[in-house]
Amino acid sequence: MSDIPSGGLEIRAVILAAGKGTRLRPLTNDLSKAFVQIGDKTLVDVLVENYEAAGITSLTVGVGWQGDVLRSHLEERQSAMDIEVVDVPDYEDGPLRTLTTTLRTVEDETVIVGPVDQLMDDNLVSNALEQYHDKKSPEDIILLVDLSTKKGTQVFLDEAGLVVGLGTPLRDYDSTACSAMLMIISKSRYRTFIESANKGVPKVSEALNQLITEGAKVGHIPIEGTWFDIDTVHDILQVNRFVLRHMQESVNAPISIRLGDTMEFGQSIALPAEVFVECGVSLHGPVLVQENCKIAKNTIIGPDVVIAKGAEIGANCRIENTTLFKNAKIRKNTNIQDAVVFDSEVLYSEE
């Protein structure tokens, strides 16, 4: 049995959400990566819900670019979680600066830290924290690692299971894994990360390697579950395909069609939540359509399509494996596959 307290975990979650998301431009020219469309929610909302589901009751979000918009969004959302937002004026110095600026405001004894562009399934954090509490590890820095994939930053482990390097081995190692982009830090180490940032170190991985070189013991916990690092159009499509194919009954959308199901419209119809679908439209699941959307006649949609709030699709279109962001518009007689649509711009996957 886990010894996680039933009243909630005595650990604070920290989300690093200050960067510009440059690898997703032009999508993120005016949009924080935190608002990337994931199923019927934004990326940051999915993360908050996952931490809530894991029993965590307090969260700090470090914001920089588009920080006011993200702050307003988090303040307006209804949540039982205590959410604090910290401004990071020097966020362009790198993610380590975002982490350390946030840690300066934290009084909790332990934090679990991850970036806003890392998405995990509902059980991953819960399972990892159960392992952490059961293990009672003496290390005051713990990396969550994936033993079953080669994606991401390589983590080198010695015979005792200690991390001996990220990206490159700093001494002899016994096995390798990949970073799952989540880390548990005890309060005794907050100051050491702050000192590294003050020395001009930009990345968290570089600070960790520096600490390991200086003799710090960094442990690891193997994760159990699915996770995604969202940096490209392909990543957005991949995670939405996963979400669509695991849709729950509670999904918040006027239309949700599951894998293998089809919905055909013999006549035009106005559905609740101001969704208008014209005659001749067919939806091939999985497909999710949010409120205030319009789909014109003889359009075929699916599989693997998310249509966010306010989107409009013209007549005689064919849309497959595509995510339409809020208020996206597709002209008539358009065929789109393997793409993200925002405003009227289409970004195709390069993979």
Average pLDDT over residues 133-158: 86
Both 288 and 205 in one domain: the answer is no
In terms of domains, do 263 and 221 share one? Answer: no
Q: CATH no. for residue 96?
A: 3.90.550.10
Judge if 197 and 266 occupy the same domain. no
- The answer to the question of residue 192 being in a domain is yes
Tell whether 239 is covered by a domain: no
Q: What is the pLDDT of residue 328?
A: 96
Per-residue pLDDT reduced to its tens digit, 190-241: 999 999 999 889 999 999 999 999 989 999 999 888 899 998 999 999 999 9
- Domain endpoint, select from 229, 249, 278: 229
| Across 127-137, average pLDDT | 81
> Where do runs of H (alpha helix) occur along 136-254?
190-198, 204-213, 233-244
Give every CB contact of residue 231 below 8 A, 6+ residues apart in sequence. Answer: 23, 24, 117
Q: Are residues 147 and 106 in the same domain?
A: yes
Q: Among 233, 217, 202, which residue's Cα sits nearest to residue 19? A: 202
Q: Tell whether 246 is covered by a domain.
A: no
d(CA 231, CA 70): 19
Q: What percent of the chain is modeled with pLDDT above 90? A: 67
Residue 13: exposure state from Cβ atoms within 10 A (0-12, 13-18, ≥19): buried
Report if residue 119 sits inside a domain.
yes
Q: Which residue has the tokens 């908050």?
A: 48
Are 219 and 262 in the same domain? no
* pLDDT value, residue 9: 56
Residue 137, pLDDT > 70, answer no
**Which alpha helices (H) appear in the chain, and where do they start and end?**
43-53, 67-76, 95-103, 122-135, 190-198, 204-213, 233-244
**Per residue in 257-292, pLDDT tens?**
999 999 999 999 999 899 999 999 999 999 999 999
Q: How confident is the model at residue 249 (pLDDT cuts 50, 70, 90)?
A: low
Kindly state whether residues 265 and 213 are assigned to the same domain.
no
Distance CA 237, CA 338 (A): 7
Q: At 7, is the pLDDT very low, low, confident or very high (cuts 50, 70, 90)?
A: very low
The pLDDT of 29-41, averaged and rounded, is: 90
Average pLDDT, the chain: 90
Q: What confidence score (pLDDT) does residue 8 get?
A: 46
Q: Is residue 147 part of a domain?
A: yes
The answer on 287 and 219 residing in a single domain is no
- Does residue 236 belong to any structural domain of this protein? no
Tell me the CATH number at 285. Answer: 2.160.10.10
Within a domain: residue 251? no
Q: Within this chain, do residues 48 and 85 fall inside the same structural domain, yes or no?
A: yes
Boundary (domain end) residue, out of 180, 212, 229: 229
Domain range for 333 is: 257-348
**145 and 41 within one domain:** yes
Q: What is the mean pLDDT of residues 109-126?
A: 88
Q: How far is CA 246 from CA 46, 136, 162, 170, 180, in A?
A: 14, 34, 35, 41, 21
Residues 199 and 311 in one domain: no
Closest CA relative to residue 104, chosen from 208, 11, 197: 197
| 95: its two tokens | 């993610």
Is the same domain home to 222 and 289? no
- Shared domain for 81 and 155, answered yes or no, is yes
β partners of residue 228: 119
Based on the structure, what is the number of domains in the chain? 2
Q: Are 269 and 252 in contact (CB under 8 A)?
A: no
Residue 247 lies in a domain: no
pLDDT digits 0-9 by tens, 53-99: 888 999 999 999 999 999 999 988 877 889 999 999 999 888 999 99
